[in-house]
Amino acid sequence: MTGKPLLAAIETGGTKCIVSVGKDPTAATRHQIETTSPSETSASIERILRKEIGQSSLDAIGIASFGPLVVDRESADYGQIGRTPKPHWEGFNLRSHLQEVFDCPVMSESDVNGAALAEAHWQLDRSIQHLAYVTVGTGVGVGVVQNGSIVNGRSHPEIGHIRVERHPSDRTFSGTCPFHGDCLEGLASGPAIAARWGASLTELSHDHPGQVLEGFYLGQLAVNLVLHHRPDVIIFGGGVPQTPRLLERIRHECLLLLGDYLPELASPDTMKTLIASPRLENDAGILGAFMMAQRTFSRTNNS
């Protein structure tokens, strides 16, 4: 084969999907569709891909998907959606469907793992070897890159569902997680904020109690990521962390919780380096999906 491979990248979220096709990710076409039922959504993705490639063939596809998701490439269920509150999606496998339709290798990962991969590598002279990517929106997800590679166990991390200490002023809210109630996601996600205050975090004043609670809970997440993974950088993406001053609150809480235990992280300046906004803004997920397509193409052709 000569020239660059023709690749497709797909980012599937709870409310929307992005489909991108091209040989050069920076110049590839992009389409956005609504996430509806699995059959409607997959049919729309298939139509877009067929229109974009015309008489050509795709060389590989990368999918950054909402989860939970089977990410074990040796599993017969690789790419299948697990227990999700998204109606009708449990048990659906977009990866196997597209692989059958387009007869090319397809790599599937969690959307937040895809974003972590891109933030750690995309167009950097020197990759970030240890990075955690947090997304806070409809849910709370975390993807981790260690030694340059995505970290998974039997499946991808579900750090958004860890237990956190309750704020003293927040003892009665039951939480919104349909599985755990008041886990981190149940206390700090966008739906949890809306359930408490009837508004998004950006609609609340900067001194509103909701701002304090969000910084308190996400600060606990940050310190747990530091102690468990020792990342060089923790990226906070998604809609909620874009709230003005929230990142500063998270840094403050993380610093307080760490105390003087880690001298190299014992100052506000080091917190600014450690806890950051997305370098790639809203493009991390789809660029991560392109990286997956590139990697699975290379792996298939070099094996």
**Residues 130 and 80 grouped into a single domain:** no
- Would 81 be classed as within a structural domain? yes
Judged by DSSP in three states, 114 sits in helix
**Residues 131 and 233 grouped into a single domain:** yes
pLDDT tens for each residue of 130-143: 999 999 998 999 99
**Predicted pLDDT at 154:** 79
**Residues 249 and 167 grouped into a single domain:** yes
pLDDT tens for each residue of 223-260: 999 999 999 999 999 999 999 999 999 999 999 999 99
- Would 178 be classed as within a structural domain? yes
- Would 179 be classed as within a structural domain? yes
Neighbour tally for 130: CB within 10 Å: 16
**Residues 135 and 271 grouped into a single domain:** yes
**pTM over cut 0.85:** yes
Parallel, antiparallel or unpaired: strands 16-22 and 106-110? unpaired
- Would 242 be classed as within a structural domain? yes
- Would 2 be classed as within a structural domain? no
Report the CATH number that the domain containing residue 298 is assigned in CATH. 3.30.420.40
Bridge partners, residue 65, by sequence? 12, 110
Judge whether 162 and 186 are in contact, CB under 8 Å: no
Judged by DSSP in three states, 12 sits in strand
**Predicted pLDDT at 2:** 56
HEC string of 74-89 equals: CCCCCCEECCCCCCCC
- Would 16 be classed as within a structural domain? yes
Q: Is the pLDDT of residue 1 over 70?
A: no
For the chain, the average pLDDT equals 95
Parallel, antiparallel or unpaired: strands 16-22 and 7-12? antiparallel
- Would 118 be classed as within a structural domain? no
Q: Is the pLDDT of residue 129 over 60?
A: yes
**Residues 234 and 135 grouped into a single domain:** yes
**Residues 106 and 13 grouped into a single domain:** yes
pLDDT tens for each residue of 257-302: 999 999 999 999 999 999 999 999 999 999 999 999 999 999 888 8
Quick one: tokens of 122? 């995309």
- CA atoms of 287 and 9, how far apart (whole Å): 8
**Residues 128 and 267 grouped into a single domain:** yes
- CA atoms of 207 and 274, how far apart (whole Å): 25
Judge whether 189 and 139 are in contact, CB under 8 Å: yes
Instruction: Please state the domain count of the chain.
Output: 2
Q: Residue 200 is part of which domain span?
A: 123-279
**Residues 42 and 140 grouped into a single domain:** no
**Residues 262 and 147 grouped into a single domain:** yes
Quick one: tokens of 212? 């304090």
- CA atoms of 258 and 236, how far apart (whole Å): 18
**Residues 274 and 296 grouped into a single domain:** no
